[in-house]
Amino acid sequence: MSRAIEISPLAGAVAAEVSGIDLSAPLSERAIRDVHQAFLDHLVIVFRDQALTPSKQVEIAHLFGKPAIYPFLKGLDGAPEVNELLKTEEQTVNFGGSWHSDTAYKERPDMGTLLYALEVPAAGGDTLFANMYLAYEALSAGMKALLDGLIAVYSSEKGYGGARKERMKSLAGLKDKVPDEVAAFEAEHPLVRTHPETGRKGLYVGKAHTLRFKGMTEEESKPLIDYLAEFAVRPEFTCRVRWQPRTLAIWDNRCTQHFAINDYSGKRRRMHRVTIEGERPV
């Protein structure tokens, strides 16, 4: 008989540690259901002391959906769905160092992400997470009425000046050749997104990828985008996950944002990431 896993919230707003489970071993149907429910309830779930190979990480991703191929970074040999995110002692730029939801610029953004820690500094390199349900629910009735039904344009080039590939060359693992058809992405999505499993509404906005509102210029759109992006990551909506070697975090990109803190100059950080294909936001 399998025993129930233990769930320990990390903060009042978002994220929980899940214990009493070995992800390297075959999981019972009950364990799979419990993990998925924890994912829906807490948006970010963290597992400590897990011994995972790249192929096992892909196998775990399959419990949530189909693993995606990230367009800008190389996959590992034998596990093309796995990207190695490495910041060496000499590098100054990190990957994911701003508030964002992964691949919001795709027609079907990735619904979830699995990040596994291999090497982390003794201090620093944490990741912040924000709950987009709570951010939306805290808005005034008037602001909700303004935003509901509003369509935004999301771009992979925002912040890169049309040269994302050039700017990312300082990151290890960039693909040698990115086809022209995927060199830049732009997509239109609702600014208020309804989660397909929970039915809850959440803000889908961030300075990293939200370019403008449909039918409006960037200049006209910027004040409201900036306000919402800053409001969405107020401390009461967030938590901080501290990494340890062999930690796996799984988060829901449909209702969270995250920020990889770049506060470990001169130190090494190496992670394995898998994302999961998603659906068109509604």
Environment class of 71 (CB within 10 Å of its CB; exposed 0-12, middle 13-18, buried 19+): middle
Environment class of 143 (CB within 10 Å of its CB; exposed 0-12, middle 13-18, buried 19+): middle
CB contact set of 186 (below 8 Å; sequence gap of 6+): 105, 153, 154, 155, 156, 157, 211
| 209 given a catalytic annotation | no
Between 120-129, 151-160, 168-177, the lowest mean confidence (pLDDT) is in: 168-177
> Residue 162 above 80 pLDDT?
no
> Which residue is listed with tokens 């903060």?
11
Provide the pLDDT confidence category of residue 149 given band limits of 50, 70 and 90. very high
Q: Which residue has the higher pLDDT, 176 or 135?
A: 135
pLDDT of residue 229: 98
Tell me the sheet residues that pair with 83. Answer: 273
> Which residue is listed with tokens 């701003």?
98
> Residue 178 above 60 pLDDT?
no
pLDDT of residue 240: 98
CB atoms within 10 A of CB 16: 20
Radius of gyration, CA atoms only, the chain: 18
Catalytic, out of 189, 193, 212, 258 = 258
Phi, psi of 41 (to 5 degrees): -75, -40
pLDDT of residue 4: 77
Among residues 77, 41, 64, 172, the alpha carbon closest in space to that of 114 is found at: 64
Going from N- to C-terminal start, the domains of the chain cover: 6-276
| 164 given a catalytic annotation | no
For residues 154 and 152, give the distance between their C-alpha atoms in angstroms, rounded to a whole number: 6
CA–CA distances in Å: residue 240 to residues 10, 119, 257 = 8, 18, 12
Q: What is the mean pLDDT of residues 148-170?
A: 70
pLDDT of residue 163: 43
Cα 15 to the center of its chain, rounded Å: 13
Q: What is the pLDDT of residues 224-280, one digit of tens each?
A: 999 999 999 999 999 999 999 999 999 999 999 999 999 999 999 999 999 999 999
| 272 given a catalytic annotation | no
DSSP string computed for 137-175: HTS-HHHHHHHTT-EEEEETTTTTTT-HHHHGGGSTTB-
> Residue 175 above 50 pLDDT?
no
pLDDT of residue 215: 97
Whole-structure pTM over 0.85, yes or no? yes
Catalytic, out of 100, 193, 209, 254 = 100
Instruction: Please report, to the nearest 10 degrees, the dihedral formed by the alpha carbons of residues 67, 69, 75, 77 taken in order.
Output: 60
Catalytic, out of 42, 193, 254, 273 = 273
Q: What is the pLDDT of residues 59-105, one digit of tens each?
A: 999 999 999 999 888 899 999 999 999 999 999 999 999 999 999 99
Q: What is the pLDDT of residues 110-136, one digit of tens each?
A: 999 999 999 999 999 999 999 999 999
| 189 given a catalytic annotation | no
Q: What is the pLDDT of residues 17-69, one digit of tens each?
A: 999 999 999 999 999 999 999 999 999 999 999 999 999 999 999 999 999 99
Q: Which amino acid is at 80?
A: P
DSSP string computed for 89-102: TT----TT-SSB-T
Residue 38 DSSP class: H
Provide the pLDDT confidence category of residue 164 given band limits of 50, 70 and 90. very low
CATH class entry, domain 6-276: alpha beta
Catalytic, out of 34, 42, 102, 212 = 102
Reading the block at residue 63, the tokens are 């419990």
